[in-house]
Amino acid sequence: MFSTNTTKESSFHWFLRGILILVFTILVAKVAELQIIKGNYFRSLAEGNRIRKVTLIAPRGKVLARGGEALVTSREVKKRLLFNSESGFEKSSELDGPGEIVTDWVRVYPLGAKFAHVSGYLGQISEDEVGKVNPKCPEKGPKKTQDLVGRSGLEEEYECVLGGTNGEELIEVDNMGRKVRILGKKDPIPGGDLKTNIDYGLQQKVATSLEGNKGAAIITDLEGHVLALVSSPSYDPNELLKENNSQYVSSLFNDRNLPLFNRVVGGVYHPGSVFKPLVTIAALEEGKIDKNFTFTDPGVIKVGAFSYSNWYLSQYGKTEGTIGITRAIARSTDTFFYKVGEILGPDNISIWAKKIGLDSTTGIDIPGEVSGLVPSPAWKLQYNKEPWFLGNTYHFSIGQGDLAVTPVEMNKMLLAFASSGSLCEPRIASRDDSLCKKIKISPDNFSIVKDGMTQACSGGGTGYTFFDFKPQVACKTLVNCFCNTRPQFVQA
């Protein structure tokens, strides 16, 4: 028989063995969990700590003038990658020392402020844009943090052409953040070049002529190709790309002269006397007057308590006498067009203004274009809750009142006169197909208007600046008075 003490010792030994077996089992299970179940998890953490994904910036395409000059280009900049022991890296302009040397690109605008409203500028994408795809070019993939994209002008309009596709490089580093080897590489795809219709020298000259003034200028050929486009004042897009540019950006936003505003496509103004040739065309086409129509200038026309004077009487106290259509255009005789507008009627004026496209955007290929406003008796009744008066017709007939257009719309109208009826979509980027359509207007009526505009630039006309200009040009002058500003003289 066993003693009681022996039995107690045996039970205690078995208890200790059970505890040891349990602890060992737990340890084995934990090791199995770490190696088998969570092995991939910890392996990915280790890989992440030693592999860096570096974005290889793709250069944007150039913007070229019609002669091949670079209007916008990119400058190559070498930088050194500094890997840290955590999980990231930085780029340094200091090239001496260890680290991978990579290529970055800096956008360069050779003409600076003289081309800014056409070129536009680059800006970093917002948080809301990260991960989103440009629907115009989904093949370029989603946008990533730190990407630069076009924010206005050609840079924005042709983002899918100019913008490249970034590449990437996988680099293995050691636990000190030092490069070990390149694991893989996807080369960046450069953006494409954009050929434009811009005349490099003409663009500079037009911009220089507007410096120090508020104004807008657009020059096109007979097919609507934009040779020069300037809005003044302007800004330097090169400054917007600098790191410490907050003071410059603040000055642009606080400037009351609105240097960021593109007046050519976004400014809406009374066309003034430049509108008179269209009233002439409309009256001739509608058969309200013919080529032999004459009018004796009274100097002032009175309607009840209101007086509507001709500028010649107001400035010099004289009248024009009896004049025909071409002389009235050349002299910009207000009273003549008051009477023609009255004969034609406001609805017909409105119809022809819309037919020429003054109530819609032109389709010019830069963002920010707005459409003009062409009034009518129905429009005034709807929006102003007032009937249309004869005085409204007088103002409408000389490009005043509620009529408002953009400079690019006026350019399109004048181009239609110069080309005898071609309505062309203004185009900055060069392309092979035509964007013009013909409007049905008698060639004889166009000739009458052209003769009047040619006489305006000859002796006795209002365009005295062009009296001695060679070759002979056709023009139309206007004087507009804006509220709280001095009268402004513009030639078109």
- The DSSP secondary structure of 271-292, one letter per residue, reads -GGGGHHHHHHHHHHTTSS-TT
Residues 191 and 63 in one domain: yes
Q: Is residue 258 part of a domain?
A: no
Spans in the chain with pLDDT lower than 50:
1-2, 41-42, 45-46, 481-492
Asked if residue 438 and residue 292 are part of one domain, the reply reads yes
Using CA atoms of 379, 385, 391, 396 in order, give the dihedral in degrees to the nearest 10: -20
Whether 315 and 372 share a structural domain? yes
Domain presence at residue 240: yes
What are the pLDDT digits (tens) for 372-422? 999 999 999 999 999 999 999 999 999 999 999 999 999 999 999 999 899
Q: Tell me which of 151, 179, 195 is where a domain ends.
A: 195
Give 115's contacts (C-beta < 8 A, 6+ positions apart). Answer: 71, 72, 109, 198, 203, 207
Amino acid (1-letter code) at residue 283: A
CA distance linking residue 251 with residue 269, whole number of Å = 26
Asked whether residue 246 falls in the same domain as residue 385, the answer is no
Q: Is residue 76 part of a domain?
A: yes
Say if residue 137 is in the same domain as residue 231: no
Whether 73 and 108 have beta carbons less than 8 Å apart is answered as: yes
CB 177 within 8 A of CB 197: no
- The two tokens of residue 345 are 């009627």
Same domain, 312 and 376: yes
240 and 336 housed in the same domain: no
Domain span at 323: 263-491
Say yes or no: 137 and 66 in one domain.
yes
Question: Hunting for tokens 């002299």 — which residue is that?
Answer: 331
In a domain, 43, yes or no: no
What CATH number does residue 472 fall under? 3.40.710.10
Give the integer Cα–Cα distance in Å for 84 and 255: 43
Residue 392 shares a structural domain with residue 246: no
Within a domain: residue 44? no
| Same-domain status, 179 and 281 | no
User: Which long-range CB contacts under 8 A does 146-151 form with residues at least 24 apart?
Assistant: 146/55, 148/107, 148/122, 148/123, 148/124, 149/122, 149/123, 149/125, 150/120, 150/121, 150/122, 151/120, 151/121, 151/122, 151/123
Contact criterion met (CB below 8 Å) for 449 and 417:
yes
Q: Are residues 186 and 213 in the same domain?
A: no
Please provide residue 80's backbone torsions phi and psi, each rounded to the nearest 5 degrees: -105, 130
Q: Any idea which residue has 């030092």 for tokens?
A: 178
- Would you say residue 476 lies in a domain? yes
Q: pLDDT tens digits, residue range 84-141?
A: 655 555 555 555 555 566 778 999 999 999 999 999 999 988 888 888 889 999 988 8
> Which tokens go with 24?
């060992």
Give a yes or no: residue 273 inside a domain: yes
Whether 230 and 339 share a structural domain: no
154 domain-assigned: yes
Sequence-distant (6+) residues with CB within 8 A of 228 are 198, 199, 202, 203, 205, 206, 207, 217, 218, 219
Using a 10 angstrom Cβ sphere, with 0-12 exposed, 13-18 middle and 19 or more buried, the burial of residue 491 is middle
Instruction: Let me know if 126 is exposed, middle or buried by CB neighbors in 10 A (0-12, 13-18, 19+).
Output: exposed
Report the candidate in 450, 407, 403 with the shortest Cα–Cα distance to residue 426.
407
The residue whose two tokens read 């603040």 is 250
Instruction: Of 353, 308, 316, 303, give the one whose Cα is nearest residue 334.
Output: 308
- CATH number, domain of 122, equals 3.90.1310.10
The pTM of this model reads 0.82
Can you tell me the distance from the alpha carbon of 361 to that of 367, in angstroms, rounded to the nearest whole number?
A: 11
Number of domains in the chain: 4
